[in-house]
Structure 1
Amino acid sequence: MYSVLVWIDSAAGVCNLLQLFRGYILPGSKEDLTSNYRYLAWGFCLLDQAAAYIVFAANSAAAQASMFAVTGESSFQWMKVCNRFTRFCIQIVGALLCGYCASIFMAVISSISAYNLFRFYSPKKFLLLKGK
Structure 2
Amino acid sequence: MGGNVERKVRVAEVTLRCVLCGLGTLAAALVATDKQTRTFFTMQKTAAFTDVRALVVLVAANAVAAGYSLLQAARCLFFFGSSVGLRSSRAIAWCVFSGDQALAYVALGAAAAALQASVVSKRGLPAFQWMEVCGLYGAFCRKAGGGIACAVAGVLAAVALAFISAFNLFRLYGKKKNGGATTW
Which range, TM-score by smaller chain?
A: 0.7 to 0.9
Aligned pairs for 1:81-100 (under 5 A) are 81-100=133-152
Distance in 1 between residues matched to 2:151 and 2:164, nearest whole Å: 20
Q: Which residue of 2 aligns with 1:20?
A: 73
The structure having more radius of gyration, on CA atoms, is 2
Query: Would you tell me which structure has more strand in proportion to its own residues?
Result: 2
Aligned pairs for 1:89-128 (under 5 A) are 89-124=141-176
Kindly provide the amino acid, as one letter, of the partner of residue 79 in structure 1. Answer: M
Percent same amino acid among aligned pairs?
A: 37
SS of equivalent residue, structure 1 residue 83: coil
2:113 counterpart of 1:61: yes
Q: Which residue of 2 aligns with 1:130?
A: none
Kindly provide the amino acid, as one letter, of the partner of residue 8 in structure 1. Answer: A
Distance in 1 between residues matched to 2:116 and 2:126, nearest whole Å: 16
1:36-77 CA distances to partner (integer Å, 9 max, x unpaired)? x21121110011011011101110110101111111123433
Structure 2: 5+ residue stretches without partners: 1-53, 178-184
SS of equivalent residue, structure 2 residue 102: helix
1:100-131 CA distances to partner (integer Å, 9 max, x unpaired)? 11111111112111121112111157xxxxxx
Kindly provide the amino acid, as one letter, of the partner of residue 94 in structure 2. Answer: W
1:7-55 CA distances to partner (integer Å, 9 max, x unpaired)? 01100111111111114667x9334742xx2112111001101101110
1:4 to 51, 57, 67: 57
2:131 counterpart of 1:79: yes
CA shift, 1:82, in A, is 0.8
Paired residues, what number?
122
RMSD (CA atoms): 2.2
Aligned pairs for 1:22-61 (under 5 A) are 22-23=75-76, 29-31=82-84, 33-34=87-88, 37-61=89-113
Structure 1: 5+ residue stretches without partners: 126-132
Distance in 2 between residues matched to 1:86 and 1:76, nearest whole Å: 22
Kindly report structure 1 stretches of 4+ aligned residues shifted beyond 6 Å: none
Q: What TM-score results when the alignment is normalised by the length of structure 2?
A: 0.60
